[in-house]
């Protein structure tokens, strides 16, 4: 009887670990991420990050809407960096823009885990860059720019991400 109970316990643990694994959608390795990091977590710095995000959206949205290959997305990102700088300069704050390989910490979004690591990305760092950040994926286009976490449930979001990844790969 003890062996049966231990066997069932191990089986349940294995099944639960498989369920958890299927809930993790991994962004493709050759994706391009986009990140804006606030100077700090003060209300003022977080509000500024949001203002700059909204200011830069009209520059980024066309890339999301028309890029069908990673090569064209790379080219379009490099072409709009001066326009992004122009938008941020209005706020008279120190910043850095880096397009290349940048570190991303582990992130949980809508119940999905995205692993930490170095990723090809466009990163805008405001001031010291020690605050919370906003991020998305430019290619394949996984930016839900207007969506809020409370507007999407985990199942809908997971299905949407899977559908987009399958479209591009």
| Model pLDDT for residues 20-72, shown as the tens digit of each residue | 444 445 677 788 999 999 999 999 999 999 999 999 999 998 888 887 888 99
Q: Which of 57-61, 81-85, 142-146, 163-167 has the highest mean pLDDT?
A: 81-85
Query: With 80 as the cut, is the pLDDT of residue 167 above it?
Result: no
Cα 152–chain centre separation = 16
Residue 13 in domain: no
According to the model, what pLDDT value does residue 160 have?
Answer: 45
Q: Give me the number of domains the chain comprises.
A: 1
* pTM attached to this predicted model: 0.71
Inter-CA distances, 153 with 19, 104, 138, 167, Å: 17, 24, 22, 21
In this prediction, residue 168 carries a pLDDT of 52
Q: In this structure, is residue 3 part of a structural domain?
A: no
Number of alpha helices (DSSP H) and beta strands (DSSP E) in the chain: 4, 6
Q: List the domain range (segments joined by +) for residue 145.
A: 30-168
pLDDT tens per residue, range 90-137: 999 999 999 999 998 887 766 677 788 999 999 999 999 999 998 888
CA distance 110 to 23: 10
Is 67 part of any domain? yes
Give residue 140's pLDDT: 81
């Amino acid at each position: 009887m003890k062996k049966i109970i231990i066997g069932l316990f191990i089986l349940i643990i294995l099944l639960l670990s498989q369920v958890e694994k299927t809930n993790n959608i991994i962004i493709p390795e050759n994706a391009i991420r986009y990140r804006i990091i606030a100077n700090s977590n003060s209300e003022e710095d977080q509000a500024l990050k949001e203002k700059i995000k909204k200011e830069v959206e009209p520059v980024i949205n066309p890339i999301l809407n028309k890029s069908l290959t990673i090569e064209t997305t790379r080219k379009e990102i490099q072409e709009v960096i001066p326009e992004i700088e122009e938008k941020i300069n209005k706020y008279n704050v120190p910043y850095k823009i880096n397009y290349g390989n940048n570190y991303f910490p582990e992130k949980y979004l809508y119940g999905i885990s995205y692993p930490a690591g170095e990723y090809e990305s466009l990163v805008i760092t405001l001031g010291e860059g020690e605050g919370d950040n906003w991020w998305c994926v430019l290619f394949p286009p996984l930016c839900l720019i207007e969506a809020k976490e409370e507007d999407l449930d985990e199942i809908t979001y997971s299905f949407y991400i899977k559908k987009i990844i399958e479209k591009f790969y």
